[in-house]
């Protein structure tokens, strides 16, 4: 089945991963956008992960987005924008123009009506997602970098809700698959980053959680309508007020990033494309 994706009121951004050209493969990428993290999905082609190369256009895009967010400080109007707003600005630049005024990508996604999810594909996505969220939770619990501990028990954690959902699928007679190569590759990459590149790791942390709370919920609803008789999974439920949980994490992110150099902040922003591409590989499981 060909990959399918949607562009709806909660928009979804198409991002290409910045690796050296190799044998291309299809991908669906997903990204947070908007203050509460709207989401975008689109189908495209990206290289197989390989040796990273400098992408001057990407760097100019990141620099322009960051400069836009920092403009008030340059004009002497205060202390500048919070770093999370810079992250949002970079994400918005990676939308298509019909999704956001700042968008620079060409639209590639088919309409929602063409979605053809399967239970088997959705289970692969949920299993991979559980592995990724569990990895994120384990990393902040171990706190190899001391300030990772600030992101423990945010209320956004998803591994336990996903465990309950997979148990429900088992009760319905479905066989739960093992994680796919996409899930294990992302989990391994997160582990690697967490040890040697904390700024890049935080970019993934932010985008994974915020994308799921926005467009991820829209995707879950659409899939449930098509194949689950509209059942709402635990994956899409949170204890407490979600908007407040997100604001708490934004505040922590801004506090942590306040001690970073401008170079470290820019490095974090430049990791956005990879975070979208890896998340997109997981999402693509639903439609294949």
Strands (E), 129-224: none
- Taking residue 257's Cβ as centre, other Cβ atoms within 10 Å add up to 19
If you count them, how many residues does the chain have?
Answer: 288
Q: Between 83-93 and 198-213, two packed helices, what is the crossing angle to 10 degrees?
A: 70
Evaluate whether 202 touches 238 at the Cβ level (below 8 Å). Answer: no
CATH number of 117-286: 1.20.910.10
What the block records as the tokens of 84 is 């999370």
- pLDDT of res. 108: 52
Pairwise CA distance, residues 168 & 93, whole Å = 39
What the block records as the tokens of 284 is 């693509």
Pairing of strands 24-33, 38-47: antiparallel
- pLDDT of res. 97: 62
- pLDDT of res. 107: 54
Evaluate whether 219 touches 9 at the Cβ level (below 8 Å). Answer: no
Residue for token pair 């707003």: 85
Indicate the helix (H) or strand (E) that contains 215.
helix 215-227
Residue for token pair 């009121």: 9
For 46, what's the count of Cα atoms within 13 Å in the CB-facing half-sphere? 23
Q: What are the pLDDT tens digits along the chain (288 aa)?
A: 433 333 333 333 333 333 333 333 333 444 444 444 434 454 444 444 443 434 444 554 454 444 444 433 333 333 578 999 999 888 777 765 655 555 566 655 555 457 789 999 999 999 999 999 999 999 999 999 999 999 999 999 999 999 999 999 999 999 999 999 999 999 999 999 999 999 999 999 999 999 999 889 999 999 999 999 999 999 999 999 999 999 999 999 999 999 999 999 999 999 999 998 999 899 989 987
Pairwise CA distance, residues 167 & 176, whole Å = 9
Residue for token pair 């659409």: 222
Evaluate whether 190 touches 142 at the Cβ level (below 8 Å). Answer: no
Domain extents in the chain? 117-286
Evaluate whether 11 touches 105 at the Cβ level (below 8 Å). Answer: no
- pLDDT of res. 95: 61
- pLDDT of res. 100: 54
Pairwise CA distance, residues 285 & 130, whole Å = 13
Give me the residues paired with residue 44 across strands. Answer: 27
- Taking residue 52's Cβ as centre, other Cβ atoms within 10 Å add up to 11
Evaluate whether 269 touches 81 at the Cβ level (below 8 Å). Answer: no
- pLDDT of res. 210: 93
Residue for token pair 């998803």: 158
Give the list of residues 6+ apart from residue 216 with CB closer than 8 angstroms, or none.
30, 39, 236
Give the list of residues 6+ apart from residue 2 with CB closer than 8 angstroms, or none.
287
CA dihedral 273, 117, 285, 93 (to 10 degrees): 0
- pLDDT of res. 255: 97
């Amino acid at each position: 089945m060909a990959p399918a994706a949607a562009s709806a009121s909660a928009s979804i951004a198409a991002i290409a991963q910045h690796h050296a050209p190799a044998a291309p493969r299809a991908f669906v990428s997903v990204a947070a956008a908007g203050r509460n993290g709207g989401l975008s999905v689109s189908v495209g082609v990206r290289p197989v992960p390989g040796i990273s190369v400098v992408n001057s256009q990407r760097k100019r895009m990141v620099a322009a987005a960051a400069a836009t967010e920092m403009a008030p400080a340059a004009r002497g109007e205060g202390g500048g924008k919070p770093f999370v707003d810079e992250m949002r600005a970079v994400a918005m630049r990676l939308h298509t123009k019909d999704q956001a005024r700042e968008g620079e990508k060409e639209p590639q996604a088919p309409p929602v009506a063409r979605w053809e999810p399967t239970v088997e594909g959705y289970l692969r996505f949920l299993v991979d997602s559980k592995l990724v969220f569990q990895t994120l939770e384990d990393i902040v619990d171990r706190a190899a970098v001391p300030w990772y501990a600030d992101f423990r028990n945010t209320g956004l954690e998803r591994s336990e809700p996903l465990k309950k959902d997979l148990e429900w699928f088992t009760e319905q007679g479905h066989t739960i698959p093992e994680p796919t190569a996409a899930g294990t590759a992302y989990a391994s990459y997160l582990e690697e980053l967490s040890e040697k590149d904390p700024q890049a790791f935080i970019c993934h942390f932010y985008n994974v959680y915020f994308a799921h709370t926005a467009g991820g919920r829209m995707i879950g609803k659409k899939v449930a309508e098509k194949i689950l008789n509209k059942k709402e999974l635990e994956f899409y439920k949170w204890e407490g007020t979600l908007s407040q949980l997100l604001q708490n994490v934004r505040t922590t992110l801004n506090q942590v990033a306040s001690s970073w150099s401008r170079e470290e902040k820019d490095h974090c922003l430049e990791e956005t494309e990879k975070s979208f591409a890896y998340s997109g590989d997981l999402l693509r499981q639903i439609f294949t």
